[in-house]
Amino acid sequence: MSRRYTLGELAQMSALRQSMLLALVFLFLHFLGALIIDNLVRRDFDNQVALELQSRFQAIASDIRIRGFQRDDYPISGTVVVYYQSDAASQAVAPEGIFDRSGDFELEPFQLTRLRWGEEWQYYAGDVSGQKLIVGVNLVLRTHFLSVIARTILIVGAVIAAVTLGIGAFFGLRTQRRLNRISLVLEHVASGRLDLRVDTQKELDDLDVLGHRIDQTIDRLDIVLRQSRDFATNIAHDLKTPLARLRLRLEQAIIAQTEDQIESAETIEALQQCDQIIAVIDAFLRIARLESGTIRNRFEPVDIAELSEEVFSTFEPVAEDAGYTLVPQISGPVTVKGDRVLLYQALVNLIENALKHTPKGSRITLIANANALGVADTGPGIPPEAYAEVIKPSVRLDRSRSDSGAGLGLALVKTIADLHNARLVLSPNPELEGSGLFIRMEFTA
């Protein structure tokens, strides 16, 4: 189903604006040409009327010179009139002052016998045998003809205007849709979706060539990122195997150890460090698997309110034993499309992050509603300028949060949020004034 655009969106479409501008320029040139043609037709018609009058005048003048003026030969009609000054009948019906004129001239509308009001006439006057002869022709046919031409030009112009604007809008929107698709693909690529393509079938014009080049660029970028991800994953796997062997030997050394307690404590500490390194590698491997995006294929509706209740029931006694207060702010049901295990892991990471980096006695709030899923705490918080840094892998702040860790907890949450097309937002705790920390995932509709 095609999308409906608002007037504001249509006004911002450069391809549509250009097409409509060309259509308007074409219409302007069309009407300008129509005015020029109308002016030329009028001028040519007036010249033809003048030539016809002069020719008719010469013929009547020649006839008068030969056999005199015969009124019955020139009756007054609705199209042609002949006045001769020496003829009493002509003087009776002739407009006042007409015999005082000479040459080719037009007279304002007047009334004659058997003629209508408002008709325009054109006359030619001259001397014949010492008297004034006037020949006139009714311009009603000329006026009608010119009005028909004007109406025809307007009707044809209106049809051409509608067709031109329609064609301009069609091709403008068609081009704009192609540009919008390219823009949408680039937007998704910027957010990490490298599985989308412009899918240009044939290179028919420059936009097809551009789409093909963009697809080629995304293909190369996808290959490079996959190679980098695979390289990092392989390194992690290669490190994990010898570390696992080292841990096994340390366990065996603890079991077989017969020396003093100090050496045994050092061995146990080495074993703990080994476990921490393995945990870091496991976190890197999880992030690499999530960034591949293949897990989206198993997304299903998840009630985050129910999920949050489950997380709360699990961690409430853990937080209490550690000296913290975990409280729920859950309203629901609220359903999102995603992976239940990953969303559970994201909440666990946020709660563990709050337990690690806030002083004992702090209150930790688990929030789940239609707008957000996250955790707020009453700890010291972090500077706003550091928000963008703490969600990067292996980034840690050593001001108020100096506990052990690899700095991968929030990076994993960020990866899970991106996978669910959600924004990971950090801000001060809304219940406090500029302190504390509120980390939540905001899902798009």
Answer yes or no: is pLDDT of 30 > 50: yes
Query: Between 327 and 230, whose confidence is greater?
Result: 327
Amino acid at 105: F
β-strand pairing of 363-368 with 373-377: antiparallel
Q: Dump pLDDT digits (tens) for 281-291.
A: 666 666 666 66
Nearest to 307 by CA among 262, 351, 360, 270: 351
Q: Is the peptide bond before 301 cis (omega within 30 degrees of 0)?
A: no
**What pLDDT score does 407 carry?**
56
For 121, residues 6+ apart whose C-beta sits below 8 A from its C-beta are: 81, 106, 107, 110, 136, 137, 138, 139
pTM over 0.75: no
Tell me the C-alpha distance between 22 and 15, whole Å: 11
**What pLDDT score does 275 carry?**
67
Tell me the C-alpha distance between 367 and 351, whole Å: 11
Answer yes or no: is pLDDT of 201 > 60: yes
Please name the helix (run of DSSP H) or strand (run of DSSP E) that holds residue 174, with its range, or none.
Answer: helix 140-190
In whole angstroms, what separates CA 421 from the centre of its chain?
A: 20
Of 154-168, 297-311, 415-429, least confident by mean pLDDT is: 154-168
Query: Between 118 and 96, whose confidence is greater?
Result: 96
Tell me the C-alpha distance between 126 and 344, whole Å: 110
> Mean per-residue pLDDT for 210-224?
82
Tell me the C-alpha distance between 212 and 111, whole Å: 78
Tokens of 415: 């990866």
**What pLDDT score does 327 carry?**
94
Confirm if 276 and 310 have CB atoms less than 8 A apart: no
For 354, residues 6+ apart whose C-beta sits below 8 A from its C-beta are: 324, 362, 364, 375, 377, 379, 437
